[in-house]
A and B are shown apart, each in its own frame.
Chain A
Amino acid sequence: MTDTQINDAILKGGKAEKDAIAYIYQDEDYRTNTQIIARNHRRLRLTEWMDVFNESIIQLVKSLKKGNYKGDRPLLDYFKGICRNICAEFYRKENRDQQRLDPRDIPMEDLRTPYLIAVEEDFKAIMRKAFAELSEMCRQILTLRMKGISMREIAKILGLSNERTAITYAARCRNRLRDILEKTPFFNQR
């Protein structure tokens, strides 16, 4: 598969998207490069390269869906950039944790206590729950919009009569999600 084909397939979604992800997942170049990058970050254990690989694919697909990849360089290079960032982030976190052994050194806003981690997870769970409360049509329309697909195409994909209907629908769905989020006690706490 060429880079353009992968990009198009991921933007198209459905089975094409899954096939494209599977292609990247199976590609020896993507795997080998991940392992080389992971190996160059000495703190990263060899066994952790697979986690880096999975996370890099997720971020790559997400980035492609948002239309961030402009095709100005090979997709593999773009992937390697993501991979390096993930490794560096991993390194930064580990470094930070090792340097700040004394809890008094840790700034309050950066204090990732088990309580705050639980709160973060709670936040994600609430977000997910709120999104799940939407109708199937709303979930689809909002996700497609987030992927950067035009309203005209969304109307075509979802079988809506025209672009105008899709816009109205998307606005209603967004308001519905906002209403759900507004009612959560979490919103007021934050």
Chain B
Amino acid sequence: MDPKERLDEIEAYLQRQMTAEAEKVFEQKMADDPVLKKEVKLHALTDKAIDLAMEDEIRQMVEEIRQEEPVLQAETGHQPSEPIIVPLWKQRWFQCAVAALVIGIILITGIPYIEGLITPQTIPPPSRPQAINLIDLPAKNAVLGDVPTEDAMEKAKEAFFDHKDYKEAERLFKLAQNDPVTNQTEVTYLLAYTYFMQERFLEAKAIFDRFINEPDKISQLPLIYQSLDKIKWDSMLALLGTNEQEQLRPALEAFIKSDPDPHYGKKAAKLLEELSSE
């Protein structure tokens, strides 16, 4: 074999660049040829000697640098760094703790936030005072005219109309419900507005709807009967108070179409327009 080829083969073997198969063949060759085995051994030793010399050179250089460190620190502006305190954020336990904390915060705060993102946003409800502001309270004598009333009823009306103390008025109206001589339709009618002013719109609406659906009951009270459109309008305002817009819109449209009292018809049209613009 050409000496150069032989040398290349030895180098390839020592540097582990041979395939497993070629390596096996070469090892068999070495076992059969003591001269080749000696060659390989010598070559490996030579490599080792050179490698060691190179390592010594580097080691010496690093040692020199280590001894020159104070000078280097002065030149480069580095601070003496022995011992280094490992920054907290580079320590494994701290990284794990922060990760756990972040995940915890995300789980606690993120879920409602994500839910908020995917939940369709509803139109903000109109403020309740809007319904209260729109309502026209009946006059003190709206039901029976200037007919004198009983004591309990008188006190209740005083609380309602003069003091605007609706809670007290409710209590007194309920007392008047037990008075056999008091007109109960008037009591119920005024009780509806007492509920309305206390923002108990559903209870108020229930009374208004009773009047609307059973007009016979109020037929003997002409003042209320004539103002049935007002009761319808007030019932719709109660819907506005409860923010039942899906029911309110068709109710308003039907009310406008029914050719009501122009006073309430205009108000209904205006409210419908406002709701549409929202």
A contacts, CB < 8 Å to B: 17-18, 21-22, 25-26, 28, 31-32, 35-36, 39-40, 46, 50, 54, 57-58, 61-62, 65, 124, 127-128, 130-131, 139, 142-143, 145-147, 174, 177-178, 181-182, 187, 190
Residues of A within 8 A of B61 (CB): 17-18, 21, 61
Structural contact, A62 and B82, CB atoms closer than 8 A: no
Which chain A residue lies CB-closest to B42? Answer: A178
The answer on a CB contact under 8 Å between B81 and A130 is no
In the complex, residue of chain B having the shortest beta-carbon distance to the beta carbon of A26: B78
Min CB–CB distance B6 → chain A (angstroms):
13
CB distance from A188 to the nearest CB of B (A): 10
Cα of A60 to Cα of B32 in the assembled complex, Å: 39
Interface residues of B in 57-113 (CB under 8 A from A): 57-59, 61-62, 64-66, 68-69, 72-73, 76, 78, 81-84, 86-87, 90-92
Q: Which residues of B contact A50 (CB under 8 A)?
A: 82
B45: contacting residue among A22, A35, A187, CB under 8 A: A187
19 A-B pairs (CB sep. < 8 Å):
A21-B61, A28-B78, A31-B84, A32-B84, A32-B86, A32-B87, A35-B84, A36-B92, A39-B91, A50-B82, A54-B66, A61-B58, A61-B62, A62-B55, A128-B56, A131-B53, A143-B54, A147-B54, A178-B46
**Chain B residues near A131 (CB, 8 Å)?**
49-50, 52-53
Cβ–Cβ < 8 Å partners of A26 in chain B: 69, 72-73, 76, 78
Is B48 part of the contact surface with A, judged by Cβ < 8 Å? yes
Q: When chains A and B are docked, how far (Å) is the Cα of A124 from the Cα of B51?
A: 11
Chain A residues within 8 Å of B55, by CB:
58, 62
Given contacts A128-B56, A143-B54, A181-B42, 4 further A-B contacts (CB under 8 A): A54-B62, A58-B59, A62-B54, A127-B52
> Among the interface residues B47, B50, B81, which one has the most CB atoms of the partner chain A within 10 A?
B50
Q: Which residues of B contact A (CB under 8 A)?
A: 41-43, 45-59, 61-62, 64-66, 68-69, 72-73, 76, 78, 81-84, 86-87, 90-92
| 4 A-B pairs closest in CB distance | A127-B49, A131-B53, A146-B50, A61-B58
Q: Which residues of B contact A46 (CB under 8 A)?
A: 83
Measured between beta carbons, the chain A residues less than 8 angstroms from B59 are 58
Q: Which residues of B contact A181 (CB under 8 A)?
A: 42, 45-46, 49
**B57 contacts which chain A residues (CB < 8 A)?**
143
The answer to whether A128 and B53 have CB atoms under 8 Å apart is: yes
Docked Cα-Cα span, A128 to B51, in Å, equals 10
Q: Are B49 and A21 in contact (CB under 8 A)?
A: no
| B86 contacts across to A, CB distance below 8 A | 32, 35-36, 39
> How many angstroms from the CA of A31 to the CA of B66 in the assembled complex?
13
How far apart are the CA atoms of A22 and B69 in the complex, in Å?
A: 9
Cα-based distance from A62 to B83 in the complex (angstroms): 26
Q: Known A26-B73, A31-B84, A178-B42; judge A146-B52 contact (CB<8 A).
A: no
Q: Which of B50, B68, B78 contacts A142 (CB 8 A)?
A: B50
What's the Cα separation between A76 and B65 when bound, in Å? 19
- Closest-CB distance, B87 to chain A (whole angstroms): 7
Chain B residues closer than 8 Å to A187, beta-carbon distance: 41-42, 45
Question: Which one of A31, A40, A174 lies within 8 Å of B46 (CB-CB)?
Answer: A174
Contact B42 A32 (CB under 8 A): no
Q: Are A65 and B54 in contact (CB under 8 A)?
A: yes
**Which residues of B sit under 8 angstroms from A146, Cβ to Cβ?**
47, 50-51, 54
Asked if B58 and A18 sit within 8 Å, CB to CB, the answer is no
